[in-house]
C-alpha cells in the first residue's frame, strides 16, 4: 500500500499527504474495491463481484468490471466517467485520467460466443492515458506509451509512442520514462 500511495504522490503535484490521497482520491477507492470484486469474480461468485463493482461505480464514478486484470500502482486521477471493460489488462504504473474508456468493439449479437473472447485492450507498463481517450478493441498499447486527451485508439500502439487524434496516429516515439500528464505537453511536434 505504501508503494501505491508513494507512486501517486510522485505523479500528482496536488497530492499533499498520504491521508488526503487515501481519504479523498476516488481512484484509490476504486482500485481497492476492484481488488475485492476481482477476488469474488475469480472465485466464481459473479453476482457478488458485480454488486461490489456497481457499488464502486456509484461511490466513485469509476466503472471497473470485476474481470479486468490490473497491475500494481494504477493511478486513476480525477476518475469520473472511467470505464474499464471485462477483458482489459492493465500493466504496472499506469496513469488514467477522467472519462477514459477501455472498451470493446464487439456487436451486441452472439453474446455467448463473445463471453470467451478477448474484447478489450491490453495496456503495457508506465502508460499515460489522457482524459477522454477511447481505447477500443483487443489491441495492445506498448510500454511507456502516451495517449493524448480525447484520442481514439483502434490499432496497436508501439512501445514509447505518443498517440494523438481521431483516429489516433503516432506523433512522437521514444518516450523514456518521462511522465507527461494527459499524455502530451506543449513541446510535442508532429514528426510527419
Give the start-to-end residue ranges of the domains of the chain: 2-183
Average pLDDT, the chain: 90
Give the tens place of pLDDT for each residue, 143-165: 999 999 999 999 999 999 999 99
pLDDT of residue 125: 97
- Rounded to whole angstroms, the Cα distance separating 79 from 120 reads 19
Compute the distance between CA of residue 7 and CA of residue 94 in angstroms, rounded to an integer: 10
Kindly name the residue from 34, 78, 98, 120 that is annotated as catalytic: 98
Residue carrying the nine cell digits 471493460: 85
Report, as an integer, the average pLDDT of 67-94: 96
Let me know if 112 is exposed, middle or buried by CB neighbors in 10 A (0-12, 13-18, 19+): exposed
pLDDT (tens digit, 9 = 90+) per residue, 32-43? Answer: 999 999 999 999
- Residue 98 a catalytic site member: yes
Is 90 exceeded by the pLDDT of residue 100?
yes
Burial of 165: CB neighbours in 10 Å, binned 0-12, 13-18, 19+: middle
d(C-alpha 95, C-alpha 187), whole Å: 20
| Residue 23: pLDDT over 70 | yes
Considering the entire predicted model, what is its pTM?
0.89
Report helix, strand or coil for 58: helix
Q: Measure the CA–CA gap between 68 and 65, rounded to whole angstroms.
A: 6
Class of domain 2-183: mainly beta
Amino acid at each position: 500500500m505504501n508503494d501505491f500511495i508513494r507512486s501517486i504522490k510522485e505523479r500528482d503535484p496536488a497530492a499533499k499527504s498520504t491521508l488526503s490521497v487515501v481519504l479523498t482520491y476516488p481512484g484509490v477507492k476504486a482500485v481497492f474495491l476492484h481488488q475485492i470484486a476481482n477476488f469474488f469474480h475469480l472465485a466464481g461468485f459473479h453476482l457478488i463481484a458485480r454488486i461490489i463493482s456497481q457499488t464502486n461505480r456509484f461511490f466513485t464514478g469509476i466503472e471497473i468490471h470485476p474481470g479486468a486484470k490490473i497491475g500494481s500502482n494504477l493511478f486513476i486521477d480525477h476518475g469520473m466517467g472511467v470505464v474499464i471493460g471485462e477483458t482489459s489488462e492493465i500493466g504496472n504504473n499506469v496513469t488514467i485520467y477522467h472519462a477514459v474508456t477501455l472498451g470493446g468493439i464487439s456487436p451486441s449479437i452472439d453474446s455467448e460466443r463473445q463471453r470467451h473472447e478477448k474484447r478489450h485492450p491490453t495496456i503495457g507498463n508506465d502508460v499515460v492515458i489522457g482524459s477522454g481517450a477511447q481505447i477500443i478493441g483487443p489491441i495492445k498499447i506498448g510500454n511507456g506509451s502516451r495517449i493524448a486527451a480525447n484520442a481514439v485508439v483502434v490499432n496497436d500502439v508501439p512501445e514509447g509512442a505518443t498517440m494523438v487524434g481521431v483516429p489516433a496516429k503516432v506523433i512522437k516515439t521514444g518516450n523514456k520514462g518521462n511522465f507527461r500528464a494527459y499524455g502530451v505537453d506543449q513541446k510535442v511536434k508532429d514528426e510527419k
